[in-house]
Amino acid sequence: MLEITENIQLADWEFEFQQIRAQGAGGQNVNKVACAVHLRFDIRRSSLLPVYKERLLKFPDQRITQDGVIVIKAQSFRTLELNKQDALQRLKVLIQQAIKPVKLRRATKPTKGSQRRRVDTKTLRGKTKTLRNKVDF
């Protein structure tokens, strides 16, 4: 079971692991050992609330396919178990980012003091530029 937040837990049947061979420079066991992992998580089949499913499906991430499946490839470690844990951790972070409520931006106006300071610096800059001009004798 994967615990996303205090209220959200995912059962083990909701994601599947597929062993693959890791990419990159090889060693003695490069063509023999499959220690990298593809984690697949079907959003539509999951036990998440419909609100969270919609947010996940709309979340702009290239690991989410058009079919609504999250595919995470983990190959950082040499062992299969550590790669599985890494993939689950990355899935957890992705879901936490997607279900976090979007903070609404409120338009604000600049204060009178900041407007005055802005204009003062502009006039000061203009004065220094006029001093750089050629002098007529």
- Classified as helix, coil or strand, 73 is strand
- Classified as helix, coil or strand, 131 is helix
Q: What is the pLDDT along the chain (137 residues), one digit of tens a residue?
A: 888 888 888 888 988 999 888 777 766 666 677 888 999 999 888 888 899 889 888 888 898 899 889 999 998 888 889 999 999 999 999 989 988 888 899 999 999 999 999 999 999 999 999 999 988 87
What are the structural domains of the chain? 2-99 (3.30.160.20)
pTM comes to 0.70
Largest CA distance in the chain: 89
